[in-house]
Amino acid sequence: MIELVELSKNYGAFQALKEINLHVREGEIFGFLGPNGAGKTTTIKIMAGLMKPTSGRARIAGYDICKEPTKAKAQIGLVPDRPFLYEKLTAREFLKFVGTIRGMGASDLEAQMEGLLHTFGLESWADKLIENFSHGMKQRLVMCAALLHRPKVLIVDEPMVGLDPKAARLVKEIFRKESQKGVSIFMSTHTLEVAQEMCHRVAILDRGRIVAQGTAEELAAMTGQFKADLEEVFLRLTTEEEDESS
């Protein structure tokens, strides 16, 4: 569903991404991990069609994001780390706006919207202005908008930030159900416990390069720490990368 091939991005003389290769399968929850400044957000922006790569390609559900951007973007639901909301709209007005932009029919939009408001526990707030929402409620509303058009690929940057434990559990359950329906979920996160719990496979990005990818067990085996948790593996691999570059 997601294919990145030799993907690179330069900002002047600085190379933010260095020939990244990865493949995310249908229905897979894929964790994208890395320290601050590793290049995770740059990768997401390229995948979402918000930025062009310097070289290489990104394909979403079979469509090249640069050559067929409209078709590729139609397959994507995006939850950025800093989502923008029109806070003078109600939740229902905002979702209608998003659905209309997506070209959804009125009856389909209404059914999807009401179902998602219920699923994310926002029914009682549907007709209240977004400016009155807590951060966690805004985060859930953005996820409603991302899933509204039934995307084949969901790209999420730090999905659990600002969510209380109850809301975080709800989002995890929803992600698992979407995965079971065949939606591929690309999740960038600093919360290694979430990645360990949720992801079928993960990739670790450091200084613009993927230093490891596979299941948590495969990554642990790479470090020789077969019983290590993902946090130990992450710290060992990123520390080794720093040592080699110093």
pLDDT on residue 246: 44
Number of domains, the chain: 1
CA distance 3 to 25: 9
pLDDT in tens, 187-238: 998 888 888 899 999 999 999 999 999 998 888 887 776 566 788 878 888 8
Amino acid of residue 142: V
CA distance 105 to 172: 29
The enclosing domain of 11 has a CATH number of 3.40.50.300
DSSP classification of residue 170: H
pLDDT on residue 83: 78
Which residues does the chain have with pLDDT short of 70? Answer: 225-228, 240-246
pLDDT on residue 119: 94
SS3 per residue for the chain: CEEEEEEEEEECCEEEEEEEEEEECCCCEEEEECCCCCCHHHHHHHHCCCCCCCEEEEEECCEECCCCHHHHHCCEEEECCCCCCCCCCEHHHHHHHHHHHCCCCHHHHHHHHHHHHHHCCCHHHCCCEHHHCCHHHHHHHHHHHHHCCCCCEEEEECCCCCCCHHHHHHHHHHHHHHHHCCCEEEEECCCHHHHHHHCCEEEEEECCEEEEEECHHHHHHHHCCCCCCHHHHHHHHHHHHHHHHC
pLDDT on residue 122: 96
Question: What range does the domain containing 186 cover?
Answer: 2-245
Verdict on whether the full-model pTM lies above 0.85: yes
182 φ/ψ angles, rounded to the nearest 5 degrees: 100, 0
pLDDT on residue 162: 76
